[in-house]
Amino acid sequence: MPLEAVADPKIRDSIVARVASIESIDANRFRVILELATATTGGDVTQLTNMLFGNCSLQDDVELEDVAFPPELLRHFGGPRHGIAGLRALVDAPERPLTCTALKPQGSSPQTLADLCETFGRAGIDVIKDDHGIADQAYAPFAERIRACHAAAERASASTGKPVVYAPSLVGSPRRIFEQGERARECGIRAVLLAPMLIGLGTFAEFVSTFPEFVVLAHPAFGGASRISPVWLFGKFFRLLGADATIYPNYGGRFAYSADVCHALAEAAREPWDSIRPAMPVPAGGMPVERVGEIVAFYGTDVMLLIGGSLLMAGDRLAERSRTFARAVVQGV
């Protein structure tokens, strides 16, 4: 609102946002630092988002680049409940890069998805998640699907002697998401996939605090990354709200992020940040198995590689190609 219309001096002094600095970046762009009063957030994730990028998101030429949180807000939101260390403990791999793949296509029956899950698990892949497009559809109802896939992962684990983690995709209105969480808990499932922007950032944070036992993989779907910095949104904000691992489109794949953006995003997810646990960066999106060596060299060992389509294209040679993927990452080949 117009500053002239703010009559109360206390509000002008302690509530109205302040422009801390304006810095010219190039001929057309400026970096503007605003200071917001933490009291305006009411300690709520949704209202925090409202303050950070509510109406500003409607300005075509404004991008939200980064946020510096005071320690009390960091501790209030809490970040990952498990983080990189908890994810590593779950798959019993304390140091090496991890592997991840996706069950798809949607339209497949629970049995088909479970068979795929078992093949991937026996091949030595650490985390097997549902494709994020798999929800609660008539052709693969949620409860039946997760029971079948989790049992398949358990069988693969028993056979190989190595933990295999199945992470179902939870999608829906808040009521459905929480019901799906209950079903997953009953099955003994330990990890889940959630898309925070799709289900709502407040729903995501509420889910994380309601189900602290799940290792949470965050998916970028509906993230509209061009208006909010993907480094901040997927790297830092998803982490702050409790993502233990954050999935994003890797450079050189079918999405458009540069190597610089991906590097910065991975650093944002795992760099020291007050009391907030590191979250695992999960590069994904159209990567062939042949790129494993290059990608691990780029990110180092605190990374989980997510390869889906490139495995599924192998057809009859799926198990072999999955083993190649798992081995390449495990052995550093």
Q: Quick one: which of 20, 25, 39, 297 contacts a copy of itself (CB under 8 A)?
A: 39
CA distance 200 to 271: 25
Q: Is 99 helix (H, G, I), strand (E, B) or coil?
A: strand
In this complex, which beta carbon is closest to a copy of itself, that of residue 111 or of residue 157?
111
Radius of gyration in angstroms for the set of CA atoms belonging to the chain, rounded to a whole number: 21
At residue 237, φ and ψ (nearest 5 deg) are -70, -45
CB of 297 to a copy of itself, least distance (A): 25
Q: Is 253 helix (H, G, I), strand (E, B) or coil?
A: coil
Residues 230-269 that bind a copy of itself (CB under 8 A): 249, 255-256
Structure tokens at 135: 């929800």
Q: Quick one: which of 23, 94, 95, 226 contacts a copy of itself (CB under 8 A)?
A: 226
Span near a copy of itself by CB under 8 A; candidates 149-157, 183-191, 192-200, 269-277: 192-200
Q: Quick one: which of 76, 78, 112, 323 contacts a copy of itself (CB under 8 A)?
A: 112
Q: Quick one: which of 108, 229, 250, 322 contacts a copy of itself (CB under 8 A)?
A: 108
CB of 211 to a copy of itself, least distance (A): 14
CB of 272 to a copy of itself, least distance (A): 28
Residues 123-152 that bind a copy of itself (CB under 8 A): 131-133, 135-139
In this complex, which beta carbon is closest to a copy of itself, that of residue 90 or of residue 194?
194
Q: In what order do the strands lie in the sheet with 245-249?
A: 191-194, 215-218, 245-249, 280-284
Q: Quick one: which of 88, 104, 147, 190 contacts a copy of itself (CB under 8 A)?
A: 104
Q: Quick one: which of 90, 201, 304, 328 contacts a copy of itself (CB under 8 A)?
A: 201
Q: Is 5 in the site for a copy of itself (CB under 8 A)?
A: yes
Whether 225 and 261 have beta carbons less than 8 Å apart is answered as no
In this complex, which beta carbon is closest to a copy of itself, that of residue 75 or of residue 254?
254
In this complex, which beta carbon is closest to a copy of itself, that of residue 188 or of residue 315?
315
CB of 315 to a copy of itself, least distance (A): 7
CA distance 141 to 61: 43
Residues 268-307 that bind a copy of itself (CB under 8 A): none
In this complex, which beta carbon is closest to a copy of itself, that of residue 4 or of residue 26?
4
Within 35-191, residue ranges assigned H as helices are 45-53, 71-77, 83-91, 110-122, 142-160, 174-187
Kindly report the CA angle at 272 between 248 and 128, in degrees rounded to 5?
35
Number of residues that bind a copy of itself (CB under 8 A): 78
CB of 286 to a copy of itself, least distance (A): 8
Q: Which of 136, 144, 146, 149 minimizes the C-alpha distance to 106? A: 136
Whether 45 and 199 have beta carbons less than 8 Å apart is answered as no
Q: Is 19 in the site for a copy of itself (CB under 8 A)?
A: no
Residues 41-70 that bind a copy of itself (CB under 8 A): 41-42, 44-47, 49-51, 53-55, 57-61
332 Rama class: left (phi>0) / alpha (psi -120 to 50) / beta = left
In this complex, which beta carbon is closest to a copy of itself, that of residue 15 or of residue 333?
15
CA distance 74 to 6: 30
124 Rama class: left (phi>0) / alpha (psi -120 to 50) / beta = left
105: cis peptide before it, omega within 30°?
A: yes
Q: Is 76 in the site for a copy of itself (CB under 8 A)?
A: no
